[in-house]
Structure 1
Amino acid sequence: MLNENALNAFLALAKTGSFQDAARLIGVSNASLSRYIVQVETETGLTLFNRSRNNSKLTREGQEYLSVAQDLKSDLERYQRRVVDLGNTNGGMLRIGCGPLTTRTLILPVLRKVREEMPDLRFEVLVSAYARPLDLLQKDQFDIFVGDLTYTPEADDVEILVVEKQPVVFMAHPAHEIHERGPQSLGDVFEFPFASPHLHKHWKATLTKALGGDARAAQKVAALPQIESDDYAFLTSLLERPDIIVGGMRGAFTELLASGQVKEVDVIAPPFWNICASRKSNGDSAALNLFWSTLVELNTISQ
């Protein structure tokens, strides 16, 4: 059975292509790294690297084995997390994967209410513009996912709920010139520097269609956003000056709107964002069930 040190060595060398860099990456000597790579090749019976003086590249067999090793690494990490959870005497851990637009609007109010009933429960909120969240859910990278589910592979063991559609809003500093122009089209909005989380291909297609669907629209959308980040605290801080427009869900701007620090751009026919919640059908922990039922309670959700 391949040990974890040898697995890490293979993955590091596959990533860097350099024995020296791979050894530095995992904190071992070059000699130890070489020994681990020999262990992997002996265990598999395959030649995994083409070695030269300056680099080591994966062979065809090595490239095919890479996905096996990555899956094994994920399985080991999942096993280690579950063991930690079993030994946790403080109420367990709930891992929530979510897109950057959902944290304050959906996750925060649910988390607050769940903590009232389970104050010892620990939460890990993993925020990113995930491209394939259901794959990660099925691999137990998180217990529940809340966000955009444009990518939906066959997932018989996953329960999916659809949150009511919510409009995407656009915010700017009160002194931004766009407010003086009256109602604006999306094309007008994108004439100004624009900041948002990652716009994956579904969103780019949606915006391209909204802007007319021609080559000029596609070219404009391909350049968006000019500033991209999954950190909404960073994005909203950009609104301190009147030169940026930031897009998102209204809940992300609640405090800034109330204080008068930002002003909503009047947009004609804004796009809508489909928010979904998902969990594995066999998930039966008390914490997961409570979070799920609270999410349903606080939001208009339909099967």
Structure 2
Amino acid sequence: MLNENALNAFLALAKTGSFQDAARMIGVSNASLTRYILQAETETGLKLFNRSRNNSKLTREGQEYLGVAQDLKSDLERYLRRVAGLGDTNGGVLRIGCGPLTTRTLILPALTKVREEMPDQRFEVLVSAYARPLDLLQNDQLDIFVGDLTYTPEADDVEILVMERRPVAFMAHPAHEIHGRGPQSLNDLFEFPFASPHLHKHWKATLTKALGGDAGAAKKVAALPQIESDDYAFLTALLDWPDFIVGGMREAFTEMLASKTVKEVDVATPPFWNICASRKPNDGSAALNLFWSKLAGFDATNQ
């Protein structure tokens, strides 16, 4: 097995293609980097790079070995993290990634239930409209992700729990003129200023199709949203204005609906979110396994 220096050198050179840039990336001299690359090739018995005066490119064998090296790096980081957590009386930090629409509907209830059984457990909740959340799981940057996976291709070595398929709700100020127009199509709705979290490629394609699928629809969707933010406190504040429409899960607007400071727009055919939980299988702490079981319980309740 490669030692850590040789492994880091290989991955850095594979990424940059430049000895100078790779050496700078891992904080060693060019001579040390050269020595580590030779160690990697000696220990693997493979020629990993084709070297030229200006760059170094992976050979076919190097390209095949890259995945092995990335897995080894992930395993090493996981090992170091687990060793570091052995002396942590709080059980380490559970890193939860989630989309903006799930914080109140799923994350908060599950977190509350876990804390009832593990009151000393620490949590880090990272809220963002992640473009490739499964990559973050596979690279051990997150322990669990809860959010919309509609646009995400299937990935190996990831366990996925489909929570629910939910319609998107659209809200506006009670005085907004759209409320007097009866059931609205998406085309009608997007005639008004619109605010939402980031719209990924999948959502832009979905909305383009819903608006007719022609060049005019594509142009209209390309300009959406007029205001983009993953912070729902900010988005809901926009509803103080009488012209904006904000999209999201209905639960994000519970208090505002109860106080009648916003009103739900009547949309004839709303789009749907596919809410899923995902994690790496057979690789969980007690806190992760408990959090997962609570989410699975919510799933059973929703069926």
* Range into which the TM-score falls when normalised by the shorter chain: 0.7 to 0.9
Aligned to 1:50: 51
Partner of 2:118: 118
**How far apart, in 1, do the equivalents of 2:261 and 2:32 lie?**
57
Instruction: State the Cα distance separating 1:257 from its structure 2 match.
Output: 5.8
Counterpart of 1:61 in structure 2 is: 61
2:3 counterpart residue number: 3
Q: How far, CA to CA, are the matches of 2:92 and 2:289 in structure 1?
A: 13
- Cα offset, 1:186, TM superposition: 1.0
Secondary structure of 2:100 counterpart: coil
- Please state how far the C-alpha of 1:43 moved relative to its aligned partner: 2.6
Q: 1:50 to 1:209 in 2, by over 3 A?
A: same
**Paired positions, count:** 300
- Counterpart in the other structure of 2:33: 33
Who is 2:203 aligned against? Answer: 203
| Alignment correspondent of 1:169 | 169
Q: CA deviation at 1:113?
A: 3.2
Report the residue type matching 1:170 in the other structure: F
For structure 1, which runs of at least 5 residues remain unmatched after alignment?
none
Structure-to-structure mapping, 1:69-218, within 5 angstroms? 69-130=69-130, 142-150=142-150, 151=152, 153=154, 158=159, 160-163=161-164, 165-171=165-171, 183-192=183-192, 194-214=194-214, 216-218=216-218
Q: Structure 1's 280 and 26: CA in aligned 2 closer, same or farther, altered over 3 A?
A: closer
2:184 counterpart SS class: coil
Preserved contact between residue 159 and residue 281 of structure 1 (Cα < 8 Å): no
Partners of 1:51 and 1:226 in 2: CA distance: 48
Please give the TM-score of this superposition, normalised by the length of structure 1.
Answer: 0.75
Change beyond 3 A, Cα 1:239–1:37: farther
Structure 2 runs not aligned, ≥5 long: none
Percent sequence identity is 79
Are the counterparts in 2 of residues 90 and 121 from structure 1 also a CA contact under 8 Å?
Answer: yes
Query: Structure 2 counterpart of 1:23, which letter?
Result: A
TM-superposition CA deviations, 1:126-145 (whole Å, max 9, x none)? 44445665676577665443
Cα distance in 2 for residues equivalent to 1:79 and 1:296: 27
When structure 1 is superposed on structure 2, of 200-209 and 173-182 the one drifting more is 173-182
Q: Secondary structure at the match of 1:275?
A: strand
Counterpart residue identity of residue 33, structure 1: L
For the 8 Å contact 1:208–1:217, the answer to whether it is kept is yes
Does structure 2 retain, via aligned residues, the 8 Å contact 1:49–1:62?
no
Task: Give the TM-score normalised by the residue count of structure 2.
Answer: 0.75
Distance 1:31 1:283 in 2: 38
How far does residue 41 in structure 1 lie from its aligned partner after superposition? 2.7
How far the C-alpha of 1:272 sits from its partner, in A, is 2.3
Contact 1:161 1:301 in 2 (8 A): no
